[in-house]
Structure 1
Amino acid sequence: MSDVSQRPSRLTGGAFGLLPHLLLFVAILALWELAVMTGVITSIMIPQPSAVAAAIWKLYVTERTIYEHFFITLTEAVVGFLIGAAVAVSLAVASALNEPFKRYVSPYAIVLNVTPGIALTPVIIAWFGYGMGSKMALAAIISFFPIYVNTLTGLVQRHGDREDLFRSVGATDRQVFLKLRVPSALPLMFAGFKIGLTTALIGAVVAEFAQATAGVGVLMSRFSFQLNMASSIAALLSMTLIGLILFYSMEFLDDRVVFWRRESRRAAASRAKARRWTALMGKEED
């Protein structure tokens, strides 16, 4: 009874909790529109929200010029992230298993991290050319460090009582690593993946700003040089959309892979295993 009575209140509370944010957002847009209309803000520098909305409609619906650039930037960020993540996880695993290897690799990883990515852009473009390769390379370099650090931090954590329990039942070093240390490191690894995926987008866009023929960064640069600020902000919002897609995609994977951190997901996984076990026992009885 109490759970049923509380459920509508939770739903109502969620709706009313969202309402103030929507009202504040609408109020900001209205004040922004009014400020530009009355000349308080120069429209050349900051366009009206209605002009930005019209530019978005033009890019996505009328002319549809955004889609090619959108998917090019998305591909550069994702492929660059996959390369950076593969290298980072491999080196982190090797470092966790071999202390001398860790001592030699970690300084180079730190040097790579403290070197500004934008300073590497001309060198990367000279090495990989003006195509998508240079954008993927810079995305991989920038996304490498947070993934490496988080993965290594998770893998070198010690779990005294649990590790002793594993040893007491005869687990080997390999089993302890795969069955205990890797699952325990997954939350930190996914935190690194989320940071690395969004920084990969930054690397791809920075490389597009430097030199490219296609991509959302190129589109934004063109609009800025034309002083078409409404379309430039529309392109900027498209970058934000790419970042949100990437972040929440990784959030979805985190929710599915590291399910034991959430009570609802843990309960669902337990019910699924119980159903499979019941079905298996039923087949054996037949």
Structure 2
Amino acid sequence: MSDRRSSSYALAYWALRALPHLLLLLALLPVWELAVSTGFITSILVPPPSEIIASIWELYVLDGTIYPHFLITLTETVAGFAIGAAVAITLAVCSALSETFKRYVSPYAIVLNVTPGIALTPVVIAWFGYGMGSKVALAAIISFFPIFVNALTGLLQVDRDSEEMFRSLGASDRQAFLKLRVPASLPLVFAGLKIGLTTALIGAVVAEFAQATAGVGVLMNRFSFQLDMGSSIATLLSMTLIGLLLFYAMEFLDDRVVFWRREGRRSVVSRARARRWAAKFGGHESPETEAASSK
């Protein structure tokens, strides 16, 4: 019951935070519509909200044109992000464990980062072809660096007092790495994953702009060439929707994994563990719960 109440409070909190932005948008839309209808803003450049809403209705409800393109771009982004994150975290772990490995890998990672992703697009397409492979590859390349840097920084930032305590208790290098350095690095790792996930979307869409037969980027190019700006902006909002879905999915995972950073989530996990402990040991509380209740 208390967990459900905490979730209700969280939803109410986010609803209250979103309310001012929603009210501002509702106040802006009539002004925008009036500015276009009176000719103050050229409709060819900026379509009225009514046209954008009609295009959204057509793309999502009447024709359903957006769904296959939406799914293709989402698949390219997630696949590229998964590959980039796997490579980045693996190299970050190896660099954290070996100074020699770090000295040889870091310069190449920096060179890859300072090279503009859009400049790599023709080369990536030449290597991987015009299909989904080139989009996944570019998404992986662009998402690699922020994940690598954040993961490596988190693994190298170790609290010396905690490390000395681990050593005094007889912890091995492996135990100190897995039980101390990895958990301590998770906040920075997830920060890098959030950035990498959004940059993976940029890489996939840029590759679609360059050469593709399907995807949200292709659909937006098509509408732009037809000067159908209402549908073009509706497609752009679909890209935003993909980014929001991916970002908040990673935010949800961050909230579940790195739960100790948030007081409310830490309390929920603590109560859940206390219930499991009580069920396992016949109603007796865990030592941590007893200590917390005695304070």
TM-score (norm 2): 0.90
| 1:199-244 Cα deviation digits (max 9, x unpaired) | 0000000000000000000000000000000000000000000000
239-248 or 36-45, larger mean C-alpha shift: 36-45
Q: Could you say if the C-alpha distance between residues 11 and 72 of structure 1 is closer, same or farther in structure 2, counting changes exceeding 3 Å?
A: closer
Q: Could you say if the C-alpha distance between residues 174 and 242 of structure 1 is closer, same or farther in structure 2, counting changes exceeding 3 Å?
A: same
TM-score (norm 1): 0.93
Aligned to 1:77: 77
Aligned to 1:128: 128
Q: How many residues align?
A: 276
CA–CA distance in structure 1, aligned partners of residues 30 and 182 of structure 2: 51
Q: CA deviation at 1:41?
A: 0.9
Q: CA deviation at 1:21?
A: 2.7
Aligned to 2:171: 171
Q: CA deviation at 1:268?
A: 1.3
Aligned to 1:68: 68
Aligned to 1:103: 103
The alignment status of 1:281 with 2:288, answered yes or no, reads: no
Amino acid of the residue matched to residue 187 of structure 1? P
Q: CA deviation at 1:16?
A: 6.5
Q: CA deviation at 1:158?
A: 2.3
Q: Give the RMSD, CA atoms, in angstroms.
A: 2.0
The alignment status of 1:117 with 2:129, answered yes or no, reads: no
Contact kept, 8 Å, 2:81 with 2:139, in 1: the verdict is yes
Contact kept, 8 Å, 2:158 with 2:184, in 1: the verdict is no
Q: CA deviation at 1:13?
A: 8.8
- Residues 1-286 of structure 1 mapped to structure 2, 5 A cutoff: 18-282=18-282
Q: Could you say if the C-alpha distance between residues 183 and 230 of structure 1 is closer, same or farther in structure 2, counting changes exceeding 3 Å?
A: same
Q: Could you say if the C-alpha distance between residues 13 and 58 of structure 1 is closer, same or farther in structure 2, counting changes exceeding 3 Å?
A: closer
| 1:121-177 Cα deviation digits (max 9, x unpaired) | 000000000011000000000000000000000001121111111111100010000
Q: Could you say if the C-alpha distance between residues 14 and 69 of structure 1 is closer, same or farther in structure 2, counting changes exceeding 3 Å?
A: closer
What 5-or-longer segments of structure 2 have no aligned partner?
1-9, 285-295
CA–CA distance in structure 1, aligned partners of residues 188 and 14 of structure 2: 29
CA–CA distance in structure 2, aligned partners of residues 126 and 17 of structure 1: 47
Q: Could you say if the C-alpha distance between residues 19 and 188 of structure 1 is closer, same or farther in structure 2, counting changes exceeding 3 Å?
A: closer
Q: Could you say if the C-alpha distance between residues 11 and 233 of structure 1 is closer, same or farther in structure 2, counting changes exceeding 3 Å?
A: closer
CA–CA distance in structure 1, aligned partners of residues 11 and 259 of structure 2: 24
